[in-house]
Protein backbone atom coordinates (compact mmCIF):
# COMPACT_ATOMS: atom_id res chain seq x y z
CA UNK A 1 0.00 0.00 0.00
CA UNK A 2 1.24 3.53 -0.83
CA UNK A 3 2.88 5.08 2.31
CA UNK A 4 0.83 8.26 2.17
CA UNK A 5 -2.43 6.35 1.75
CA UNK A 6 -1.39 4.07 4.63
CA UNK A 7 -0.89 6.97 7.08
CA UNK A 8 -4.15 8.61 5.91
CA UNK A 9 -6.08 5.45 6.57
CA UNK A 10 -4.30 4.85 9.92
CA UNK A 11 -5.16 8.38 11.08
CA UNK A 12 -8.78 7.97 10.05
CA UNK A 13 -9.25 4.49 11.46
CA UNK A 14 -7.79 5.71 14.77
CA UNK A 15 -10.96 7.83 15.10
CA UNK A 16 -13.36 4.88 14.82
CA UNK A 17 -15.71 4.64 17.77
CA UNK A 18 -14.40 7.87 19.33
CA UNK A 19 -16.28 11.00 20.39
CA UNK A 20 -15.68 14.39 18.79
CA UNK A 21 -16.51 16.78 21.61
CA UNK A 22 -13.76 19.34 21.14
CA UNK A 23 -11.12 20.30 18.60
CA UNK A 24 -8.66 19.24 21.30
CA UNK A 25 -9.83 15.63 20.76
CA UNK A 26 -7.96 15.30 17.45
CA UNK A 27 -4.27 15.57 16.63
CA UNK A 28 -2.46 17.08 13.65
CA UNK A 29 -2.38 13.83 11.65
CA UNK A 30 -6.06 13.12 12.25
CA UNK A 31 -7.17 16.65 11.24
CA UNK A 32 -5.06 16.74 8.10
CA UNK A 33 -6.35 13.30 7.11
CA UNK A 34 -9.94 14.37 7.76
CA UNK A 35 -9.42 17.44 5.57
CA UNK A 36 -7.95 15.27 2.85
CA UNK A 37 -10.87 12.84 2.95
CA UNK A 38 -13.26 15.83 2.90
CA UNK A 39 -11.63 17.07 -0.33
CA UNK A 40 -11.94 13.61 -1.84
CA UNK A 41 -15.66 13.55 -1.02
CA UNK A 42 -16.05 17.06 -2.40
CA UNK A 43 -14.43 16.07 -5.70
CA UNK A 44 -16.40 12.81 -5.86
CA UNK A 45 -13.16 10.82 -5.73
CA UNK A 46 -14.22 8.60 -2.86
CA UNK A 47 -17.33 6.60 -1.97
CA UNK A 48 -17.93 5.07 1.43
CA UNK A 49 -21.04 3.12 2.29
CA UNK A 50 -21.99 2.99 5.97
CA UNK A 51 -24.94 0.69 5.30
CA UNK A 52 -28.01 1.46 7.29
CA UNK A 53 -26.29 3.23 10.17
CA UNK A 54 -28.28 5.91 11.97
CA UNK A 55 -27.16 9.22 13.45
CA UNK A 56 -29.48 10.73 16.08
CA UNK A 57 -29.62 14.54 15.96
CA UNK A 58 -30.40 15.75 19.49
CA UNK A 59 -30.73 19.49 18.99
CA UNK A 60 -31.97 21.89 21.70
CA UNK A 61 -31.09 24.98 19.65
CA UNK A 62 -32.07 26.11 16.15
CA UNK A 63 -29.91 25.05 13.20
CA UNK A 64 -29.93 25.22 9.42
CA UNK A 65 -26.40 24.33 8.30
CA UNK A 66 -25.44 21.80 10.96
CA UNK A 67 -28.72 19.90 10.83
CA UNK A 68 -29.00 19.78 7.03
CA UNK A 69 -25.32 19.05 6.41
CA UNK A 70 -25.42 16.13 8.86
CA UNK A 71 -28.58 14.82 7.17
CA UNK A 72 -27.14 15.09 3.66
CA UNK A 73 -23.74 13.72 4.75
CA UNK A 74 -25.39 10.60 6.19
CA UNK A 75 -27.55 10.21 3.05
CA UNK A 76 -24.41 10.36 0.88
CA UNK A 77 -22.88 7.66 3.06
CA UNK A 78 -25.90 5.44 2.43
CA UNK A 79 -26.99 6.00 6.03
CA UNK A 80 -29.74 7.85 7.86
CA UNK A 81 -30.52 10.43 10.54
CA UNK A 82 -33.30 10.79 13.09
CA UNK A 83 -34.22 14.30 14.11
CA UNK A 84 -34.71 14.47 17.88
CA UNK A 85 -35.27 17.43 20.16
CA UNK A 86 -36.59 18.01 23.62
CA UNK A 87 -40.13 18.77 22.38
CA UNK A 88 -40.29 15.44 20.57
CA UNK A 89 -38.78 13.33 23.32
CA UNK A 90 -39.18 12.76 27.04
CA UNK A 91 -36.15 15.01 27.59
CA UNK A 92 -38.61 17.91 27.58
CA UNK A 93 -40.48 16.26 30.45
CA UNK A 94 -37.39 15.86 32.55
CA UNK A 95 -36.02 12.42 31.62
CA UNK A 96 -32.34 12.68 32.61
CA UNK A 97 -29.59 12.71 30.00
CA UNK A 98 -28.01 9.65 31.58
CA UNK A 99 -31.12 7.58 30.80
CA UNK A 100 -31.80 9.17 27.41
CA UNK A 101 -28.19 8.62 26.31
CA UNK A 102 -28.25 4.94 27.27
CA UNK A 103 -31.55 4.37 25.45
CA UNK A 104 -30.57 6.27 22.30
CA UNK A 105 -27.29 4.31 22.20
CA UNK A 106 -29.34 1.13 21.82
CA UNK A 107 -31.02 2.50 18.65
CA UNK A 108 -28.53 4.87 17.06
CA UNK A 109 -24.96 4.33 15.87
CA UNK A 110 -23.86 7.89 16.77
CA UNK A 111 -25.38 10.99 18.37
CA UNK A 112 -24.87 14.63 17.38
CA UNK A 113 -25.72 16.94 20.27
CA UNK A 114 -26.46 20.67 20.01
CA UNK A 115 -27.09 22.18 23.40
CA UNK A 116 -26.33 25.04 25.80
CA UNK A 117 -24.03 23.98 28.63
CA UNK A 118 -20.99 21.94 27.64
CA UNK A 119 -21.56 19.79 30.74
CA UNK A 120 -24.71 18.41 29.06
CA UNK A 121 -22.61 17.27 26.11
CA UNK A 122 -20.13 15.63 28.50
CA UNK A 123 -23.01 13.88 30.25
CA UNK A 124 -24.15 12.40 26.90
CA UNK A 125 -20.58 11.30 26.20
CA UNK A 126 -20.31 9.72 29.65
CA UNK A 127 -23.44 7.60 29.32
CA UNK A 128 -23.54 6.91 25.60
CA UNK A 129 -21.96 3.76 24.22
CA UNK A 130 -21.82 5.15 20.66
CA UNK A 131 -19.75 8.11 19.34
CA UNK A 132 -21.00 11.53 20.43
CA UNK A 133 -20.36 14.58 18.23
CA UNK A 134 -20.49 18.16 19.45
CA UNK A 135 -22.89 19.94 17.07
CA UNK A 136 -22.36 23.20 19.09
CA UNK A 137 -22.40 24.07 22.76
CA UNK A 138 -21.77 27.37 24.49
CA UNK A 139 -18.05 26.46 24.66
CA UNK A 140 -17.21 25.00 21.24
CA UNK A 141 -18.34 24.39 17.67
CA UNK A 142 -15.71 21.91 16.46
CA UNK A 143 -17.52 20.74 13.29
CA UNK A 144 -17.60 24.36 12.14
CA UNK A 145 -13.84 24.68 12.60
CA UNK A 146 -13.17 21.62 10.42
CA UNK A 147 -15.08 23.28 7.56
CA UNK A 148 -13.35 26.61 8.21
CA UNK A 149 -9.85 25.16 7.88
CA UNK A 150 -10.82 23.17 4.78
CA UNK A 151 -11.96 26.46 3.20
CA UNK A 152 -8.70 28.16 4.17
CA UNK A 153 -6.63 25.25 2.87
CA UNK A 154 -8.47 25.32 -0.45
CA UNK A 155 -7.57 28.99 -0.82
CA UNK A 156 -3.94 28.98 0.29
CA UNK A 157 -3.01 25.28 -0.24
CA UNK A 158 -1.02 25.23 2.97
CA UNK A 159 -2.16 26.18 6.47
CA UNK A 160 1.06 26.37 8.45
CA UNK A 161 2.30 29.91 9.00
CA UNK A 162 -0.94 31.63 7.95
CA UNK A 163 -2.59 34.19 10.24
CA UNK A 164 -6.29 34.14 11.05
CA UNK A 165 -7.76 37.24 12.71
CA UNK A 166 -11.04 36.81 14.56
CA UNK A 167 -12.92 40.03 15.32
CA UNK A 168 -15.78 40.14 17.84
CA UNK A 169 -17.11 37.88 20.54
CA UNK A 170 -14.73 35.32 22.08
CA UNK A 171 -17.46 32.67 21.79
CA UNK A 172 -17.85 28.96 20.94
CA UNK A 173 -16.79 29.51 17.31
CA UNK A 174 -13.71 31.51 18.40
CA UNK A 175 -12.74 28.82 20.93
CA UNK A 176 -12.80 26.06 18.31
CA UNK A 177 -10.82 28.18 15.84
CA UNK A 178 -8.20 28.85 18.51
CA UNK A 179 -7.80 25.15 19.28
CA UNK A 180 -7.84 23.77 15.74
CA UNK A 181 -5.77 26.65 14.34
CA UNK A 182 -3.11 26.05 16.99
CA UNK A 183 -3.00 22.32 16.24
CA UNK A 184 -2.62 23.11 12.52
CA UNK A 185 0.12 25.73 12.95
CA UNK A 186 -2.04 28.76 12.09
CA UNK A 187 -1.39 31.99 14.05
CA UNK A 188 -4.56 33.20 15.73
CA UNK A 189 -5.03 36.93 16.36
CA UNK A 190 -8.19 37.92 18.21
CA UNK A 191 -9.72 41.33 18.83
CA UNK A 192 -12.50 41.27 21.42
CA UNK A 193 -13.99 44.03 23.59
CA UNK A 194 -12.99 43.88 27.25
CA UNK A 195 -14.99 41.20 29.04
CA UNK A 196 -15.71 39.27 25.81
CA UNK A 197 -12.36 37.53 25.41
CA UNK A 198 -12.29 33.78 24.64
CA UNK A 199 -12.42 31.14 27.35
CA UNK A 200 -9.18 31.32 29.34
CA UNK A 201 -8.72 27.57 29.77
CA UNK A 202 -9.33 27.00 26.04
CA UNK A 203 -6.55 29.47 25.22
CA UNK A 204 -4.20 27.83 27.75
CA UNK A 205 -4.94 24.39 26.31
CA UNK A 206 -4.46 25.65 22.74
CA UNK A 207 -1.05 27.00 23.69
CA UNK A 208 -0.11 23.53 24.95
CA UNK A 209 -1.42 21.83 21.79
CA UNK A 210 0.07 24.43 19.43
CA UNK A 211 2.58 23.57 16.74
CA UNK A 212 5.85 25.04 18.02
CA UNK A 213 5.83 28.03 15.68
CA UNK A 214 2.18 29.13 15.94
CA UNK A 215 1.00 31.91 18.26
CA UNK A 216 -2.23 33.11 19.85
CA UNK A 217 -2.46 36.87 20.39
CA UNK A 218 -5.32 38.82 21.91
CA UNK A 219 -5.75 42.52 21.01
CA UNK A 220 -8.27 45.13 22.01
CA UNK A 221 -7.89 47.05 18.72
CA UNK A 222 -9.35 45.26 15.66
CA UNK A 223 -7.10 47.28 13.32
CA UNK A 224 -4.05 45.89 15.06
CA UNK A 225 -5.42 42.34 14.97
CA UNK A 226 -6.12 42.26 11.21
CA UNK A 227 -2.84 43.82 10.10
CA UNK A 228 -1.46 41.79 7.11
CA UNK A 229 -3.56 38.80 8.11
CA UNK A 230 -4.62 36.11 5.59
CA UNK A 231 -8.06 35.26 6.97
CA UNK A 232 -10.54 37.61 8.64
CA UNK A 233 -13.32 35.88 10.56
CA UNK A 234 -16.29 37.12 12.53
CA UNK A 235 -19.47 35.78 14.15
CA UNK A 236 -22.59 37.23 15.77
CA UNK A 237 -22.20 39.38 18.88
CA UNK A 238 -25.06 37.64 20.72
CA UNK A 239 -25.10 33.87 20.37
CA UNK A 240 -28.10 31.60 20.84
CA UNK A 241 -29.20 31.87 24.46
CA UNK A 242 -27.85 35.45 24.80
CA UNK A 243 -30.78 37.20 23.12
CA UNK A 244 -31.55 39.21 26.26
CA UNK A 245 -28.05 40.75 26.13
CA UNK A 246 -28.48 41.90 22.52
CA UNK A 247 -28.79 45.65 23.25
CA UNK A 248 -26.02 45.70 25.82
CA UNK A 249 -23.77 43.81 23.42
CA UNK A 250 -24.52 46.20 20.53
CA UNK A 251 -23.06 48.92 22.74
CA UNK A 252 -20.07 46.87 23.96
CA UNK A 253 -19.07 45.79 20.44
CA UNK A 254 -19.19 49.25 18.86
CA UNK A 255 -16.06 49.63 16.68
CA UNK A 256 -15.74 45.87 16.10
CA UNK A 257 -17.77 45.68 12.86
CA UNK A 258 -15.90 43.97 10.02
CA UNK A 259 -15.97 46.83 7.52
CA UNK A 260 -14.18 47.52 4.22
CA UNK A 261 -11.93 49.90 6.13
CA UNK A 262 -10.84 47.11 8.44
CA UNK A 263 -10.49 44.59 5.61
CA UNK A 264 -8.14 46.97 3.77
CA UNK A 265 -5.59 46.58 6.60
CA UNK A 266 -5.39 42.82 6.04
CA UNK A 267 -3.21 41.19 3.39
CA UNK A 268 -4.43 42.16 -0.11
CA UNK A 269 -5.31 38.47 -0.80
CA UNK A 270 -7.08 37.99 2.53
CA UNK A 271 -10.36 36.08 2.60
CA UNK A 272 -13.40 36.72 4.79
CA UNK A 273 -15.19 33.96 6.68
CA UNK A 274 -18.35 33.89 8.81
CA UNK A 275 -19.93 30.72 10.18
CA UNK A 276 -23.48 32.10 9.59
CA UNK A 277 -26.15 33.09 10.36
CA UNK A 278 -24.92 36.70 9.99
CA UNK A 279 -26.34 39.96 11.26
CA UNK A 280 -25.41 42.39 8.50
CA UNK A 281 -24.75 45.87 9.81
CA UNK A 282 -23.67 44.49 13.20
CA UNK A 283 -20.60 42.23 13.17
CA UNK A 284 -20.12 42.55 9.37
CA UNK A 285 -21.16 45.10 6.76
CA UNK A 286 -23.17 43.97 3.75
CA UNK A 287 -20.34 45.27 1.55
CA UNK A 288 -17.77 42.93 3.14
CA UNK A 289 -20.23 40.02 3.28
CA UNK A 290 -20.87 40.30 -0.47
CA UNK A 291 -17.30 41.30 -1.43
CA UNK A 292 -14.97 39.31 -3.68
CA UNK A 293 -12.92 38.45 -0.58
CA UNK A 294 -15.83 36.55 0.93
CA UNK A 295 -15.67 32.74 0.92
CA UNK A 296 -18.66 32.46 3.25
CA UNK A 297 -20.77 30.19 1.02
CA UNK A 298 -17.84 27.88 0.18
CA UNK A 299 -17.33 27.67 3.93
CA UNK A 300 -21.01 26.75 4.45
CA UNK A 301 -20.78 24.10 1.71
CA UNK A 302 -17.70 22.62 3.36
CA UNK A 303 -19.74 21.77 6.45
CA UNK A 304 -21.17 18.94 4.36
CA UNK A 305 -17.87 17.53 3.12
CA UNK A 306 -16.05 17.73 6.45
CA UNK A 307 -18.93 16.18 8.39
CA UNK A 308 -19.18 13.39 5.81
CA UNK A 309 -15.49 12.66 6.42
CA UNK A 310 -15.88 12.89 10.19
CA UNK A 311 -18.87 10.51 10.25
CA UNK A 312 -17.16 8.03 7.93
CA UNK A 313 -14.19 7.99 10.32
CA UNK A 314 -16.11 7.84 13.61
CA UNK A 315 -18.45 5.17 12.31
CA UNK A 316 -15.51 3.04 11.21
CA UNK A 317 -16.14 3.21 7.49
CA UNK A 318 -12.40 3.33 6.63
Q: Return the one option of ligand NVA, ligand CP, none that residue 171 interacts with (CB less than 5 to 8 A, by type).
A: ligand NVA
Question: Is 143 a catalytic site residue?
Answer: no
The site map against ligand NVA for 224-253 (x = CB under 6 A) is -----------xx--xx-------------
Cis peptide before 151 (omega within 30 of 0): no
**Angle (deg, nearest 10), helices 142-156 and 28-42:** 70
Query: Which of the residues 275, 295, 305, 308 is marked catalytic?
Result: 275
**Closest to 134 in 3D by CA, of 126, 150, 122:** 122
Q: Could you tell me the strand order of the sheet in which 187-191 lies?
A: 216-219, 187-191, 163-167, 231-234, 271-274
- Segment contacting ligand CP (CB under 6 A): 57-65, 175-183, 288-296, 309-317? 57-65
Q: Return the one option of ligand NVA, ligand CP, none that residue 176 interacts with (CB less than 5 to 8 A, by type).
A: none
249 part of the interface to ligand CP, by CB under 6 A: no
Question: Is 53 a catalytic site residue?
Answer: no
Q: CA 171: distance to chain centroid?
A: 12
268: exposed, middle or buried (C-beta count within 10 Å: 0-12, 13-18, 19+)? exposed
Distances (CA, A) of 223 to 27, 161, 167, 190: 32, 20, 10, 11
Question: Is 279 a catalytic site residue?
Answer: no
275 part of the interface to ligand CP, by CB under 6 A: yes
Q: Work out which of 71, 118, 137, 144 binds ligand CP, going by CB under 6 A.
A: 144
- Segment contacting ligand NVA (CB under 6 A): 93-101, 170-178, 209-217, 221-229? 170-178
78: exposed, middle or buried (C-beta count within 10 Å: 0-12, 13-18, 19+)? middle
Question: Is 235 a catalytic site residue?
Answer: yes
Closest approach, Cβ 273 to ligand CP, in A, equals 11
297 part of the interface to ligand CP, by CB under 6 A: no
Of all residues in the shown chain, the one whose CB is closest to ligand NVA is: 239
| Contact assessment for residue 205 and residue 252, using Cβ atoms and an 8 Å cutoff | no
306 part of the interface to ligand NVA, by CB under 6 A: no
| Contact assessment for residue 279 and residue 236, using Cβ atoms and an 8 Å cutoff | yes
Query: Which of the residues 109, 138, 169, 235 is marked catalytic?
Result: 235
Distances (CA, A) of 139 to 22, 119, 171, 277: 9, 10, 7, 18
For residue 99, which phi and psi values (nearest 5 degrees)? -80, -45
- Segment contacting ligand CP (CB under 6 A): 61-69, 180-188, 208-216, 223-231? 61-69
Q: Return the one option of ligand NVA, ligand CP, none that residue 129 interacts with (CB less than 5 to 8 A, by type).
A: none
Binding residues (CB under 6 A) for ligand CP: these are: 63-66, 136, 144, 275-276
Amino acid sequence: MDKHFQSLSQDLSSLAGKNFLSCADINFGQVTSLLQLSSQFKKNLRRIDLGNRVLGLVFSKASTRTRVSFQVAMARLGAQTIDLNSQLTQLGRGEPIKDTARVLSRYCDALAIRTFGNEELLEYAKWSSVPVVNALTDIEHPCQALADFLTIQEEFETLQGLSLSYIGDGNNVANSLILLGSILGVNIRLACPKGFEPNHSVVENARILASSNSRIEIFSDPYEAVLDSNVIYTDVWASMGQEKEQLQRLEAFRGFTLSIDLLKKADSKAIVLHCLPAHRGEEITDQVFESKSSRIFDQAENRLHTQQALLAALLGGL
